[in-house]
Amino acid sequence: MTKAINEEQLLSSLNGPQREAVVTTDGPLLLLAGAGSGKTSVMTRRIAYLTNVKKLDPWNILAITFTNKAAREMSERVRQWIGDAADDMWICTFHAMCVKILRREARHLDLTPTFTILDADDQASMIKQCMLDLNHDIKKFDPASVQWKISAAKNELQSPATFVSAGNSPVDPIVRGVFLAYEQQLRRANALDFDDLIGKTVTLFETFPDVLKTYQEKFLYIHVDEYQDTNRAQYQLIHMLAREHQNVCVVGDADQAIYRWRGADRANLDYFGRDFPTHKMIKLEQNYRSTETILKAANAVIQNNQNRVEKSLWSTKGAGEKIAVYAAQDAEDEAIYTLSKIQAHVGDGGRFSDCTVLYRANAQSRAVEDVLLQAAIPYHVVGGMTFYDRREIKDVMAYLKAIANPQDEISLLRIINIPKRSIGEGTIRKLLDYAHDEDLTLMDAIKQAKKIEQLKSAEQVARFAQLMDSLQERMIGATVTEFLHDVLRETGYREMYAQSSKEEDRARLENLDELDRITRSFDRRRRGSVLDFLAETSLMTEVDRNENDERDAVRLMTVHASKGLEFPVVFVLGVEETVFPHSRSLDTLEGVEEERNLFYVAVTRAKDKLHLSYCLERSTFGQVHMNDPSRFLQEIPEDFTERTGADPVQEARFEIGMSVRHPQYGVGVITDLVGAGEEQMLSITFRSKYGTKDIVPRITRLRVLG
């Protein structure tokens, strides 16, 4: 039932551009939504406006987001406006939408509706096995590089037949053959990988126009969030669905385009105007998150990017505190500074969870983790090993996958001898060979084990086949939680750990209990099938996997992982040339500009207080580097910052007898000094094996110790 909400209620509390975006429902709309500008509120009210004011049937509305977390939030907020009618809408991620379509239309693509969705680990295992089957040396040709190439090709809608290599990687000559073998293995396993979900849906629509027509008539009004992060396949999918009725609203911000490395194309925002020439554009520039000082700094930085639509964020929160910029001697000093500011915030009545530490690369977290551990401060690294990465959870999920889809060879191989059933590697090899020779699936070979000559464990394999058949029957009509209990009991998996006295095995039991809690929540929320549960967990992003951590703890994460989030206090580490912007980005203008977008994202995560820090010297892979402060720091007007920390060492006045640290030779004492300014040369006697060296300070950054 749809709740009775009138237009005045829907539009109350919105600013002018937000109101315009809500009521502009017919025809194509490009919504340029700056960070923290209330786009979710606009989209949810727009959907409610369509149902309550325009009287549109809810099942004719599609809203696409990029994370399950965002989809759930949007769905909950829509429900607040329109009630149970929200259940009839498709509010989901690209991949979740495509899973629904492909399950319904599987017969058109030589799939069954029970197809498995491979996660990244399963995909890596299958590609590695394909390489071994083709006699490729996996030490010479990195399977991870092949996997990346295949993923990139699929996002560009390439098949093995149309694959065109980009670049000059050593793996390029073998990718096409591995790609073909991998696709054949996927078909045998009745499986799709993450990239296939969108690509196969595009193929479905291209090959079967009547199927496309069905979904064009279903989705009369389409909404797409984070449009600047769409890749070619996603762009093509939306264009196909929207071209009939053209009632499509895309929401994006080119200033926050940070995923070029995984195929996203910010130019899709530009293509929208080309594809829908009658479109209207509305800018959302009022920010409801950050202080004026933070926003002015962000605006000053991002305006250095070329070819962007002018947009300037503003706020009514007031100026707030200045941005703290700290010059650290090294990564340890940077970490100690961060610790001290976190302790001060908590000492003033704040919470640890108010504070988030952002960095460009994962390796930068180590120094901060060390000082937080020493100070006994709780912290959580977002993007570390997640619950679903744990061995026992992957085992149980493999059981569920293999039972739901008996063609899933990877899952079968994982659990065929867990718990131990005396089915060793030799037996498994013979089963695989028999399956290959007889053109059978592995499960079919398992069921015919007694026909295989000299198979010593044939009886054990037969019992395993009976177990899987029995569990497949139990799955029918059971809730996910009921079926989970059956699997854990009948396989002996839970008992395997219950009988152990090891501390780590007790922890594994606790994780199995947590999985039980997750399935119970799923059953209450969706009452879906085991396949639905497997699809939901397979489609989780990094943000989704960490969203339920509600501990009062400092969060550590990459800037990429922080997209879409906000925090009262933000620390951005390593704001140095070659670190942020990253060294790999410095060769092209496009690369530098995406790094500037990433810095803009980092800055606009902060609500109240922002700390930026850089090191005068940083150790990387055993080498000490002396990087200049990031160009992005120089782009922030001095009026918005408060700078503390070490003075730039290159401006130091050197004297005989002074102790200094050299980035390569370590600590030494100045024993002689000749010349001045840029021509100055120092003789330094080092305490190490290096003895006395002549050093030119102009070209070697020295740290003054005293």
Out of 12-21, 270-279, 558-567, 693-702, least confident range = 693-702
Give percent of the chain with pLDDT exceeding 70. Answer: 95
- At residue 497, the 3 state secondary structure works out as helix
| 69: pLDDT strictly greater than 50 | yes
Out of 379-383, 483-487, 580-584, least confident range = 379-383
CA distance 158 to 65: 24
| 75: pLDDT strictly greater than 80 | yes
- Residue 39 marked as a ligand binder: yes
Q: How many CB atoms lie within 10 A of CB 361?
A: 14
Q: Residue 452 corresponds to which tokens in the numbers above?
A: 């295989």
Mean pLDDT over 325-343 rounds to 93
CB 280 within 8 A of CB 22: no
Question: Between 480-490 and 458-475, two packed helices, what is the crossing angle to 10 degrees?
Answer: 160
Per-residue model confidence (pLDDT) at position 34:
94
Cα–chain-centroid distance for residue 182? 24
pLDDT tens for each residue of 373-390: 989 999 998 876 667 888
Per-residue model confidence (pLDDT) at position 17:
96
Q: Residue 118 corresponds to which tokens in the numbers above?
A: 């491979």
Per-residue model confidence (pLDDT) at position 677:
75
Bridging pattern class, strands 618-620 and 623-625: antiparallel
The band of 540, judged by pLDDT with boundaries at 50, 70 and 90, is confident
- Residue 356 marked as a ligand binder: no
| 86: pLDDT strictly greater than 60 | yes
| 223: pLDDT strictly greater than 60 | yes
| 702: pLDDT strictly greater than 80 | no
| 237: pLDDT strictly greater than 80 | yes
Global pTM value? 0.82
Per-residue model confidence (pLDDT) at position 504:
86
| 92: pLDDT strictly greater than 50 | yes
Residue 549 amino acid letter:
D
Residue 141 DSSP code: S
The band of 368, judged by pLDDT with boundaries at 50, 70 and 90, is very high
Name every residue whose Cβ is closer than 8 Å to that of residue 559 and which is 6 or more positions away in sequence.
258, 358, 359, 360, 572, 598, 599, 601, 602
Out of 82-86, 149-153, 396-400, 658-662, least confident range = 658-662
- Residue 35 marked as a ligand binder: yes
| 272: pLDDT strictly greater than 80 | yes
SS (H, E, C) 283-339: EECECCCCCHHHHHHHHHHHCCCCCCCCCCCECCCCCCCCEEEEEECCHHHHHHHHH
CB 143 within 8 A of CB 131: yes
- Quote the mean pLDDT of the chain: 90
Alpha-carbon dihedral 244, 247, 251, 253, rounded to 10 degrees? 60
The band of 650, judged by pLDDT with boundaries at 50, 70 and 90, is very low
346, containing H or E segment: helix 331-347
| 655: pLDDT strictly greater than 90 | no
Per-residue model confidence (pLDDT) at position 632:
96
Mean pLDDT over 248-258 rounds to 94
- Residue 666 marked as a ligand binder: no
Whether omega before 28 lies within 30 degrees of 0, making that bond cis, reads no
Residues marked active site are found at 39-40, 225-226, 256, 605
Q: What backbone torsions phi and psi does residue 304 show, to the nearest 5 degrees?
A: -80, -10
- Residue 300 marked as a ligand binder: no
Per-residue model confidence (pLDDT) at position 600:
97
pLDDT tens for each residue of 169-206: 788 889 999 999 999 999 999 999 999 999 999 999 99
Q: What is the CA radius of gyration of the chain?
A: 29
Name every residue whose Cβ is closer than 8 Å to that of residue 482 and which is 6 or more positions away in sequence.
none
Out of 341-345, 361-365, 640-644, least confident range = 361-365
Per-residue model confidence (pLDDT) at position 143:
93
Mean pLDDT over 221-225 rounds to 96
- Residue 33 marked as a ligand binder: yes
Per-residue model confidence (pLDDT) at position 4:
66
Q: Residue 94 corresponds to which tokens in the numbers above?
A: 């690209």
Per-residue model confidence (pLDDT) at position 539:
83
Give percent of the chain with pLDDT exceeding 90. Answer: 68
| 562: pLDDT strictly greater than 70 | yes
- Domains of the chain listed by start with CATH number: 7-105+198-288 (3.40.50.300), 116-189 (1.10.10.160), 302-384+549-645 (3.40.50.300), 388-539 (1.10.486.10), 658-705 (no CATH)
Residue in this structure with the two tokens 């769409």, named with its chain if needed: 230
Per-residue model confidence (pLDDT) at position 163:
87
Distances (CA, A) of 337 to 329, 333, 343, 688: 11, 6, 10, 30
Q: Whose CA is closest to 64, among 245, 266, 221?
A: 221
Per-residue model confidence (pLDDT) at position 667:
81
| 653: pLDDT strictly greater than 90 | no
| 1: pLDDT strictly greater than 90 | no
pLDDT tens for each residue of 430-477: 999 999 888 899 999 999 988 888 888 899 999 999 999 999 999 998
| 546: pLDDT strictly greater than 60 | no
The band of 266, judged by pLDDT with boundaries at 50, 70 and 90, is confident
Mean pLDDT over 64-86 rounds to 91
